Amino acid sequence: MISEWIDKQAACQGEAVYLQETRGERTLTYAGLRAGAAAWSRRLDEAGLPPGTPVAVRLADPLEYATALVALIGAGRVVVPLDPGAPAADLARVLDVARPAAAVADDPFGIDMPILRPEPAGDDQPGDQLVPGTEGYSGGIYLCTSGTTGTPKGILLSEAQLAHVASSVVRCHGLGGDDRGYCPLPLFHVNAEVVGLLSTLCAGAYLAIDRKFSRRGFWEMIARLRISWINAVPAIISILAMDDPRDAVSAMGSGGGVRFVRSASAPLPRAALERFEEAFGIPIVETYGMTEAASMITANPVDGVRKPGSSGKPAGTEVRVVTVSETGTITECGPSEVGRVQIRGAGVITAYASGGRPGVISPDGWLDTSDLGYLDADGYLFLAGRSDDVINRGGEKIYPREIEEHLIAQPGVRSAVVVGAPDDVLGEVPVAWILPASGEFPAEDLKASLHAACVAGLPRHKQPKEYFVVDEMPLGATGKIARRQLKDLAATREVPGAVRS
């Protein structure tokens, strides 16, 4: 599948650019990708690492990382992507779960296994197939969950699952050979791997990969590279929404060439979506995905009805919302009834490679995502939050997202996160973390303004008990806000400057 895509694109448009670095001039053509994959296949065969062998990748250079990752999958190996900036303890945890037989890396990084260094690809012979029909041949990606709330889980995504979801991305977003994507997301995460690298390969398109997102000179870079779609996360969109739209118009002309911006990895606040679309006139396509589903599960259409606050309709994956009784009886929810989101399909794992709590995947293939939400009458999915993020205030269930949306809609707020903090009487109460949009409002004035807005616009039990204004939010490697860290801090009550209501 992936090897066939590489062969097909190399044969049809070998000199076309597949990947380009954004901060330099280096590129990788489709012919170069096939040559690299064939060279890796020979090297690994010679090293006694046959198809199906797990091989870790840890490279600091994004273009080298992306090239090795796609080439190794095409060469029939199971890639174990590693964060090049992760501390030794985190790397050891992943390696202990995935157990790769070798690593493609810049340096040994303290491990006891063969290290293969990237090198220029040799010439592939015209017409040669990349990988012969080897019996038992199987490529893929082996990923590990963060393990922040328990034992790390190993997730093996087969080549068939990766190809299924990448093809769904191409269909859903209408990607074609003329599209030029931009992806600043980490290459050790499933979004960049499947939505970025593999969907671009499937479409025979172009992708610019960035070491990380930078606000400075962003629109000039988008114009210079003639980007037609952007693979982003809410944090990036929220930052850009604060920019002067004249900067984009000055760089790209009115409207530019960007067809859409894709939002993934976390729910996008409605206020940020509306600010961005109003400022730049570029549609935001909200999506929903997870590692266990090889990334995309649902998506709003690029051309069609996009519902703000919704992650869209199922895209290549079955989705249902259910309630589960104490005896284990499962009942499907009606339209707009909140329940547990469960998924099933060709891109969804049917078992964890390691770890995973019992009962998460049912015998008939339904995986419980631990997300809460509802399907509306049109089949659009709306997420309410994670089941372990729900705040239980004296028996009343509070979904943080509703409060967050209300806070982010207020002047002077770039981002807001609501978590539960311990309370001696009620068990838990909501508290809010606020990242201001600018220094326009002094912290005390902003807290007072938000408190007044919540009193006026929210039921009493949903009004935050405390407000913390901070200079930055703690983020994980994929751009998600580290809620658990904020919840732990709120529990200590040692954060200075809290306003009590």
Which has more pLDDT, 161 or 238? 161
DSSP 460: G
Same domain? For 28 and 97 the reply is yes
22 falls in which pLDDT band (50, 70, 90)? Answer: very high
What is the dihedral angle through the alpha carbons of 59, 64, 69, 73, rounded to the nearest 10 degrees?
-140
Q: Which CATH number does the domain housing residue 45 bear?
A: 3.40.50.12780
Same domain? For 153 and 27 the reply is yes
Same domain? For 121 and 267 the reply is no
d(C-alpha 494, C-alpha 468), whole Å:
11
220 falls in which pLDDT band (50, 70, 90)? Answer: very high
Comparing 2-16, 188-202, 232-246, 298-312, the range with the smallest average pLDDT is: 232-246
Which has more pLDDT, 494 or 165? 165
Q: Which of 346, 363, 388 is the last residue of a domain?
A: 388
d(C-alpha 355, C-alpha 156), whole Å:
12
CB-CB contact of 292 with 155 (8 Å):
yes
Classify strands 78-81 and 54-58 as parallel, antiparallel or unpaired: parallel
Same domain? For 419 and 439 the reply is yes
Instruction: Say whether pLDDT at 256 is over 70.
Output: no
How confident is the model at residue 366, as a pLDDT?
96
Same domain? For 304 and 425 the reply is no
How confident is the model at residue 90, as a pLDDT?
84
Instruction: Say whether pLDDT at 162 is over 80.
Output: yes
How confident is the model at residue 1, as a pLDDT?
84
Which has more pLDDT, 173 or 144? 173
d(C-alpha 53, C-alpha 241), whole Å:
44
How confident is the model at residue 372, as a pLDDT?
94
Tokens of 211: 């070491």
d(C-alpha 276, C-alpha 226), whole Å:
20
Same domain? For 160 and 264 the reply is no
CB-CB contact of 215 with 232 (8 Å):
no
Q: Let me know if residue 227 belongs to a domain.
A: no
Judge residue 324's burial from the number of C-beta atoms within 10 Å of its C-beta, 0-12 exposed, 13-18 middle, 19 or more buried. middle
Residue 284: its H or E element: strand 284-290
- Interior CA angle at 394 toward 392 and 397, to 5°? 35
Q: Which of 388, 409, 426 is the last residue of a domain?
A: 388
345 falls in which pLDDT band (50, 70, 90)? Answer: very high
- Top mean pLDDT of 11-20, 321-330, 384-393 is at 11-20
d(C-alpha 207, C-alpha 190), whole Å:
16
In the three-class reduction of DSSP (H, G, I as helix; E, B as strand; rest coil), residue 305 is classed as coil
Q: Which value, in Å, is the radius of gyration of the alpha carbons in the chain?
A: 23
Same domain? For 271 and 195 the reply is no
Number of domains in the chain: 3
How confident is the model at residue 494, as a pLDDT?
59
Please choose, from the candidates 244, 254, 188, the residue with its C-alpha nearest in 3D space to the C-alpha of residue 215: 244
249 falls in which pLDDT band (50, 70, 90)? Answer: confident
Q: What is the pLDDT of residues 403-444, one digit of tens each?
A: 999 999 999 898 899 999 998 888 889 999 999 987 667 888
How confident is the model at residue 495, as a pLDDT?
56
How confident is the model at residue 355, as a pLDDT?
83
Q: Which CATH number does the domain housing residue 470 bear?
A: 3.30.300.30
Instruction: Say whether pLDDT at 391 is over 70.
Output: yes
Q: Let me know if residue 114 belongs to a domain.
A: yes
Q: What is the pLDDT of residues 443-456, one digit of tens each?
A: 888 999 999 999 99
Average pLDDT on 83-91 reads 88
Same domain? For 420 and 400 the reply is yes
Amino acid 233 reads V
Residue 274: its H or E element: helix 270-280
Instruction: Say whether pLDDT at 493 is over 70.
Output: no
In the three-class reduction of DSSP (H, G, I as helix; E, B as strand; rest coil), residue 468 is classed as strand
- Interior CA angle at 126 toward 120 and 131, to 5°? 75
Same domain? For 357 and 404 the reply is no
How confident is the model at residue 254, as a pLDDT?
56
Instruction: Say whether pLDDT at 137 is over 70.
Output: no
Q: pTM of the prediction?
A: 0.86
Q: Is the backbone of residue 235 left (phi > 0), alpha (psi -120 to 50) or beta? A: alpha
Instruction: Say whether pLDDT at 134 is over 50.
Output: no
Average pLDDT on 477-487 reads 80
Q: Let me know if residue 191 belongs to a domain.
A: yes
Q: Let me know if residue 250 belongs to a domain.
A: no
Tokens of 490: 């709120």
Same domain? For 149 and 291 the reply is no
Instruction: Say whether pLDDT at 257 is over 80.
Output: yes
Tokens of 501: 């209501």
How confident is the model at residue 261, as a pLDDT?
97
Q: Let me know if residue 220 belongs to a domain.
A: no
Instruction: Say whether pLDDT at 480 is over 60.
Output: yes
d(C-alpha 117, C-alpha 355), whole Å:
31
Q: Which CATH number does the domain housing residue 272 bear?
A: 2.30.38.10
Q: Is the backbone of residue 385 left (phi > 0), alpha (psi -120 to 50) or beta? A: left
Please choose, from the candidates 214, 302, 225, the residue with its C-alpha nearest in 3D space to the C-alpha of residue 263: 302
Question: pLDDT above 90 covers what percent of the chain?
Answer: 66
How confident is the model at residue 146, as a pLDDT?
63
Average pLDDT on 42-57 reads 94
Q: What is the pLDDT of residues 300-344, one digit of tens each?
A: 999 999 999 999 999 999 999 999 888 889 999 999 999 999 999
Q: Which of 324, 354, 388 is the last residue of a domain?
A: 388
Comparing 34-43, 100-109, 305-314, 354-363, the range with the smallest average pLDDT is: 354-363
Scanning 99-224, the segments in alpha helix (DSSP H) are 159-173, 190, 199-203, 218-224
d(C-alpha 355, C-alpha 357), whole Å:
7
Same domain? For 366 and 475 the reply is no
d(C-alpha 186, C-alpha 295), whole Å:
14
How confident is the model at residue 464, as a pLDDT?
95
How confident is the model at residue 424, as a pLDDT?
82
Which residue range is the domain that position 321 belongs to? 260-388
Q: Let me know if residue 110 belongs to a domain.
A: yes
Q: Let me know if residue 229 belongs to a domain.
A: no
List b or e across 185-201, with b for residues whose CB sees 16 or more CB atoms inside 10 angstroms.
bbbbbbbbbbbbbbbbb
Please choose, from the candidates 47, 27, 295, 280, the residue with its C-alpha nearest in 3D space to the C-alpha of residue 167: 295
Same domain? For 63 and 198 the reply is yes
Q: Let me know if residue 410 belongs to a domain.
A: yes
Instruction: Say whether pLDDT at 193 is over 90.
Output: yes
Amino acid 253 reads G
d(C-alpha 475, C-alpha 497), whole Å:
22
Instruction: Say whether pLDDT at 149 is over 60.
Output: no
How confident is the model at residue 501, as a pLDDT?
45
How confident is the model at residue 120, as a pLDDT?
53
Amino acid 311 reads S
Instruction: Say whether pLDDT at 135 is over 80.
Output: no
CA 91, 236, 381, 403 torsion: positive or negative?
positive
Which has more pLDDT, 490 or 39? 39
How confident is the model at residue 66, as a pLDDT?
96
